[in-house]
Amino acid sequence: MALDYHALLNPSQAAAVLQTEGPCMIIAGAGSGKTRVLTYRIAHLLEQGVDPFNILALTFTNKAAKEMRARIEKVVGPAAKNLWMGTFHSVFAKILRSEADKIGYPRSFTIYDTQDSKTLIGQIVKELELDDKLYKASTVLGRISAAKNKLVSVQQYLNDPVIRQDDEAAMRPKIGVLYQQYAARCFKAGAMDFDDLLFQTNVLFRDHADILNKYQNKFRFVMVDEYQDTNYSQYLITRKLAAKERNICVVGDDAQSIYAFRGADISNILNFEKDYPELNVFKLEQNYRSTKNIVWAANSVIKNNQAQLRKDVFSDNEDGNLIELIKAASDNEEGKLIAQSIYEDKMNQHLSYDNFAILYRTNAQSRAMEEALRKLNIRYKIVGGLSFYQRKEIKDLVAYLRLTVNPNDEQALRRVINYPKRGIGDTTISKLINSAEEANHTIWEVVSNAEQFLPARVSNPVVGFAEKIKSYTAVAAKEDAFEAAKFIAKNSGMIEELYADKSIEGLSRYENIQELLNGIKEYVDDHEREDKSLGAFLQDIALVTDSDLKDAAQEGEAVTMMTIHSAKGLEFRNVYIVGMEENLFPSQMMITSRADLEEERRLFYVAITRAEKKLTLSYATSRYQWGNLRSCEKSRFLDEIDPQYINAKFAPGPAVGESPFQHVFERRSNLVATPPRKTVATNYVAPADFQPSDTSNLQAGQRVEHPKFGFGKVTTLEKQQGTVKAIIQFEEVGEKTLLLSFAKLRVL
């Protein structure tokens, strides 16, 4: 029986679901239920008899694709398993595996991660005897990546006078040569980096009309999530695939386009109608996530951007608390005030630390926050640390696995040819590389015939290494990924070497290898997975995105700390946006052009709309930068929030002997309460002669006076981890939990 979408969705959502033919753009405001709409839209197509193999749905994270597929399966059943759904990189890597030979690559091509690419560039810089400080691998890779995302080939790069002038002005005239060498070495090694997965897909479709036609006929319906984050390369691929049927549906929010530094082009969504004049546009404007105050504040900020698709986001949720604005004397005091606020809200409202997130513009801002949280014994986790797959021992074993599948993988070969040590030194490796260059062979061709290029004494260990790799390849050809990996881990000597290291670090590395093998076993035991080969597993882990790694952050109840860029797509009950200062947010590097400033404003909009119930903004009037204490000016973005949505708290600095947490917070007097809202507040004003008492001998049952909460009675005293908490029933504001070491109480 067909679903009643009008009963399941609001009118705008239902209209977007039911419009299946022709080009369609769904402008989905923050918290507007876009995943729900995408889910039902695909379900509706399947109900109408569309073959799931004819639907292509592109996302930006594997997690998003997995969640959406699971939701669709609940609605329509097992047919959802046959959808072509995944990230741009995973879907087009799959296509390239089938068609790689058309563009000269092996189907078993390796996918280089960022570190592999940087290592290779570093080697080329060294070989060309260039200054590695001027030609930093990350800088060179960024320039190459930007070129590929704009589909600028090596030859176009070398022949473009404007590009050449830019590189010369940056004192890096050899970037083009490095791009040329890097591309040639990747091709020779049978490897693609992340950008190549899209670049080479465009090359495939450009040069092979029959292949493009094949996939145009296959993908009759194309859907793209987070369309505002697409770059030129992604835009071109989706436009080509949809050119025949024109059944393309893009979903996104221009107000949340924050990845220009990665190549995202907001004009893709702003100008979408130019490509499809017959476009149907649907606006999802109801925010189901946040309170009215948070939505109104976000709207008052984003309206200042000129480049946008106008929409009127609203919420039918409660008005909620006013947005708290904290002004601190320093970044350390800012951290202390935030930590105290989190502690009090957790205790008073019986929340979990998982309900709290601290967001900042740059990772460096986490230090003051971490110190303050540690002092109050508040558990926290930082998203964006070293991921599991970047640990040395994991990269070592994965290099063996990659080399097994693709022996031409130069980076993998270099990494493990002498690990564990087998007597192949740097001099021998250099000779192998030089021999490969002179004979125009791959390094594997030289290694596997080492006796032809090296003296017998030197070549013996190299020959032994080549025989090992050949044996691994033979095992991988007939065994699944787990059996092959287990054989390689043992036979290579890695497990024996790590097991022999009895230090804490050695034990940890050994356990990490075990965990990797556990993960491969889980991969193989997945009954729904058809391809259980080592090559398929390597592709799977190579395509793990940053967002997918967030789930690997430390487990357990903890406050989440991350940059705002990392927070996109997430939501938390209580959100703190810290460091709201000029030259920090907006960043000093993003205030020289309107486009950059508007991107920063969109970033602030994203940060605001992560909050469900409570939002706190903070800034410091002084902050250390490069060892110097500098005065700070509050962010211009704070002045863009309508004052009626703000409850300002000013921290003038502690008096002598006073705890830095305790300040008399001033309520901004000129707030106008429109539209009407309910707020929980007290009108209590402490007398001028108020002096706190010594509370070291405070007892349950005693009456006390607090400068903010008024009069109350101590009901319970609790000792925990060296601190004493007082639970007090106040006459005006009800029960509060306070730390005695910081609470200013007068015992009556």
Q: State the Cα–Cα distance between residues 654 and 652, nearest whole angstrom.
A: 7
711: CATH: 2.30.30
Same domain membership, residue 221 and residue 77: yes
DSSP H/E element including 399:
helix 392-405
Rounded-to-5 percentages of helix, strand, coil across the chain: 50, 15, 35
CB-side neighbour CA atoms (13 Å) of 538? 28
Give Rg (Cα) of the chain: 30
428 occurs within a structural domain? yes
* Domain assignment of residue 384, yes or no: no
Given a contact cutoff of 8 angstroms between Cβ atoms, the answer to whether 44 and 16 are in contact is: no
DSSP reduced 3-state for 584: strand
Which stretches in the chain have pLDDT values below 50? 386, 549-554, 626, 651-681
Q: Element (H or E) spanning 675, and its range?
A: none
Instruction: Pick the closest to residue 314 from 330, 329, 294 (CA basis).
Output: 294
Same structural domain, 217 and 70: yes
- CA pair distance 191, 34, nearest whole angstrom: 36
In this prediction, residue 391 carries a pLDDT of 80
Dihedral pair phi/psi, residue 636, rounded to 5°:
-60, -25
**Residue 74: CATH number of its domain:** 3.40.50.300
Domain range enclosing 258: 5-100+200-284
Q: Are residues 413 and 517 in the same domain?
A: yes
Q: How far is CA 20 from CA 10, 25, 222, 694, in A?
A: 17, 11, 11, 71
- Same structural domain, 207 and 68: yes
In a domain, 385, yes or no: no
Rounded to 5°, the CA angle 719-723-726 comes to: 65
Q: Which helix (H) or strand (E) holds 323?
A: strand 323-328
Distance CA 566, CA 581 (A): 20
pLDDT reported for residue 294:
96
**pTM exceeds 0.85:** no
What angle (nearest 5°) sits at the alpha carbon of residue 581, between those of residues 575 and 583?
125
Same domain as 638, residue 560: yes
Q: Can you tell me the distance from the alpha carbon of 113 to that of 91, in angstroms, rounded to the nearest whole number?
A: 17
Both 477 and 395 in a single domain? yes
Residue 652 lies in a domain: no
Rounded CA gap, 215 and 237, in Å? Answer: 11
Strand ranges inside 510-610, DSSP E: 559-563, 572-577
9 within a domain of the structure (yes/no): yes
Tell me 389's DSSP state: G
- Helices 534-542 & 392-405, crossing angle to 10 degrees? 130
User: 609-642 burial, b for 16+ CB within 10 Å, e for fewer?
Assistant: bbbbbbbbbbbbbbbeeeeeeeebebbbbbeebe
Burial class of residue 41 (count of CB atoms within 10 Å of its CB; 0-12, 13-18, 19+): buried
Tell me, yes or no, whether 487 and 407 share the same domain.
yes
What is the per-residue pLDDT for 439? 84
Q: Given 284, 306, 327, which residue is the final one in a domain?
A: 284
> Cis (ω within 30 of 0) for the bond into 652?
no
Boundary of a domain, candidates 647, 666, 692 = 647
Residue type, 26: I
Report pLDDT for 738: 80
Q: Summarize the annotated binding site for ATP as residue ranges.
A: 28-35
Domain identity same for 331 and 263: no
One domain for residues 225 and 78: yes
Residue 195 lies in a domain: no
Q: Which residue, of 267, 284, 301, is where some domain finishes?
A: 284
Residue 548 inside a domain? The answer is no
Q: In this structure, is residue 105 part of a structural domain?
A: no
Residues annotated as catalytic are 34-35, 225-226, 256, 610
What does the alpha-carbon distance between residue 615 and residue 630 come to, in Å, rounded to a whole number?
27
Q: What is each CA distance from 469 to 141, 435, 712, 738, in whole angstroms?
A: 30, 20, 75, 64
Indicate the helix (H) or strand (E) that contains 18: helix 11-18
CA dihedral 384, 387, 392, 397 (to 10 degrees): -160
Sign of CA dihedral 204, 207, 210, 212: positive
Largest CA distance in the chain: 95
Number of domains within the chain: 5
User: Are 507 and 427 members of one domain?
Assistant: yes
Q: Which of 366, 381, 380, 369 is nearest to 335 (CA)?
A: 369
Are 184 and 211 part of one and the same domain?
Answer: no
Asked whether residue 51 falls in the same domain as residue 176, the answer is: no
CATH number at residue 150: 1.10.10
